[in-house]
Chain A
């Protein structure tokens, strides 16, 4: 199984270990991973802020790059970026040239946990990590891609990890991209609820599938001096007792 990695601009620049872990995990389950160095962004920031032309510009670049790949699948460690790619057909509705190309690329693009469990049928990737942890459902992954049971299955199979379900695991963390820039006070108020729930859960780590949520949550936890760490699912799955 050959996989083309879409690492996302956020991970590329600010959280490389998510990318490194994703590659390691995919290789561990038998995938060959290729990485096209021309890639940049999925266009979500522009799309979400209403700048459709600019979004299309960047989306066309994404499509052009990835349609060249002979990989069986395009895999990304981000629910929101994957969901954005799945929105490409909407972005190019009525465009006879780009719509079929958008559809083709969207159909091959998967979020990491969904790819592991639904496509590769791998529920145990041989990871181990001791401690109590919980899962935050990132909104786009949950609601646009229906990713709910897959990460939980993967986490439950991490040897040594004690999983507890977070109260209102599916409540938004308040990031919302440009929303947190335009309405920081509301964003923080929403985040307060998530942090309260995490504290009540008494866990050592919060795991999620989207770096943006992890930055939102992790930023607050570290500012509070909390000992709770944030981990991307890929990072957790890359943990083993040897490390």
Chain B
């Protein structure tokens, strides 16, 4: 799998900007998603109130995450689920590989889970000799193409129908076409027998209810229902921040998530799964294992400023609203989580060293903050991270520049002198394209106390 790195963000972005087809696809997708979100939000007169409520619920959880997690675990286990806590990606992958191997699993079906992409679970399962099939259409497409997702909600947004048609012809023997319905039928038919043959189904989790031990997963396609109903073993992976206190809280989140993500009132299916079936001959898996992934989240939780990053419900609205993402797409970020929220959580999950560029790749316009259903103040987080990075990893030259700058700006005489120097310098050195020349007299010079 070709994973561009966040360390080469600038080069990745340049390459993306040169890709005319990608930019066209991004423009269409982000503007369509953006318009739909806007309409969907406008159709709910209490939208702002809902956002405030959602954020309050998240803050309630994050202020005492461990207690809520323990409650969730207790209730899930009382209903027959087995819950595992994984400190990091390696541990999560090892737990899941172990579970699959113990049951001699050969075919594994997966529904879309950002968390499993974060841990590179598929690579681990394949290395252990198991076949993993992504069943979400967008994820299936990129799996066939050996590419990472470019958007949280629509992973294959960067591909045209022609490209997908060619891919299906090459990989699945589909007769050549660029008709979307035909491609969808091909995917449906091909994946059907994988569902039927699967020993294990792996899913993500949108919300985990502490009060009842329920996991809630939302979708449009039906692949999550198939993944979580047919195989004998269902494994659900979730970041620890996905827990919410009460079943009734879903009323707030199920109103915000689909509208923010795709502009729908509700996605086609919501699955509310609480433990395992009551009787052995009932429908559904025999076993449910839930993996709670930390992988740096506790570290984010510990800091009062960065804690709010964990409120994210992975709707993708900030991506669609972001002028930077709109131009470069998701691959450039070199992370499972792109866009504004990605620029905030990637450095925290992967380490500042690896993702130092990301917080600076923003004009701080604030469009993301406007659309975030849980009111995460992304610009504030970006500024905080910039502070951390400049302090710890900043270039010596830049540090010096700002030290000098501060000196100049706190001394009227130095300020005046630099202006004079600048006016001379600009006669020989060209000024940047988006700036104007220094005027021969400053406003200060012109001012007379009359």
Residues of A participating in the B interface, judged by any CB pair closer than 8 Å = 7, 9, 11-16, 19-20, 35, 37-41, 43, 45-52, 54-55, 57-58, 61, 139-140, 142-144, 170-172, 174-183, 185-187, 189-191, 193, 215-216, 218-220, 223
Contact = CB atoms under 8 A, between A and B. Distances in A.
A170 B14 CA distance: 25
Contacts of A52: 387
26 contacts: A7-B443, A13-B422, A13-B442, A14-B436, A14-B437, A15-B439, A16-B443, A35-B444, A40-B408, A40-B415, A49-B402, A50-B388, A51-B390, A51-B399, A51-B402, A52-B387, A54-B405, A54-B406, A143-B366, A182-B361, A190-B326, A215-B434, A216-B434, A218-B436, A219-B435, A219-B436
Interface in B309-332: 323-324, 326-328
Given A139-B366, A176-B365, A37 B444 contact: yes
Contacts of A190: 323-324, 326-327, 363
B365 A139 contact: yes
Contacts of B399: 51
A183 B13 contact: yes
SS of B interface (majority): helix
B236 interface: no
Contact of A37 (B369, B405, B436, B447): B447
B103 interface: no
Contact of B439 (A13, A175, A180, A193): A13
Contact of B412 (A40, A57, A189): A40
Contact of B363 (A9, A12, A39, A187): A187
A228 B354 CA distance: 43
B362 A185 contact: no
B443 A19 contact: yes
B388 A185 contact: no
A191 B406 CA distance: 30
B51 to A, nearest CB: 15
B10 interface: yes
SS of A interface (majority): helix
A171 B27 CA distance: 13
B402 A14 contact: no
**B323, B398, B442, most chain A CB atoms within 10 A:** B323
Contacts of B29: none
Contact of B409 (A40, A172, A178): A40
Given A43-B409, A61-B409, A172 B438 contact: no
A32 to B, nearest CB: 12
A189 B364 contact: no
Given A50-B387, A50-B390, A51-B402, A16 B442 contact: yes
Contacts of A54: 402-403, 405-406
Given A58-B409, A176-B362, A215 B436 contact: yes
A172 B391 contact: no
A50 B394 contact: yes
Closest 4 CB pairs of A and B: A176-B363, A50-B386, A50-B390, A172-B365
Contact of B13 (A14, A185, A219): A185
A13 B390 contact: no
A180 B434 contact: yes
Q: How large is the interface on B (under 10, 10 to 19, 20 to 34, 35 or more residues)?
A: 35 or more
A179 B360 contact: yes
B17 A16 contact: no
A189 B415 CA distance: 33
Interface of B: 10, 13-14, 17, 23, 323-324, 326-328, 360-367, 369-370, 383, 385-391, 394, 398-399, 402-403, 405-406, 408-410, 412, 415, 419, 422, 432-439, 441-444, 446-447, 449
A179 B175 CA distance: 47
Contacts of A40: 408-410, 412, 415
A12 B383 CA distance: 26
Contacts of A185: 13-14, 17
A35 B405 contact: no
A59 to B, nearest CB: 10
B364 A186 contact: no
A193 B363 CA distance: 15
Contact of A9 (B409, B432, B441): B409
Given A15-B439, A51-B390, A58-B410, 4 more contacts: A19-B443, A20-B446, A50-B391, A143-B370
A51 B396 CA distance: 12
Contact of A12 (B389, B436, B443): B443
Contacts of A139: 363-367
Given A40-B412, A190-B324, A50 B389 contact: yes
A14 B435 contact: yes
A186 B327 contact: yes
Contacts of A13: 419, 422, 438-439, 442
A69 to B, nearest CB: 14
A12 B360 CA distance: 27
A117 B334 CA distance: 46
A48 B409 contact: no
A6 to B, nearest CB: 11
A179 B439 contact: no
Nearest to A171: B323
A96 B197 CA distance: 67
Contacts of B403: 54
B19 to A, nearest CB: 12
A186 B433 CA distance: 14
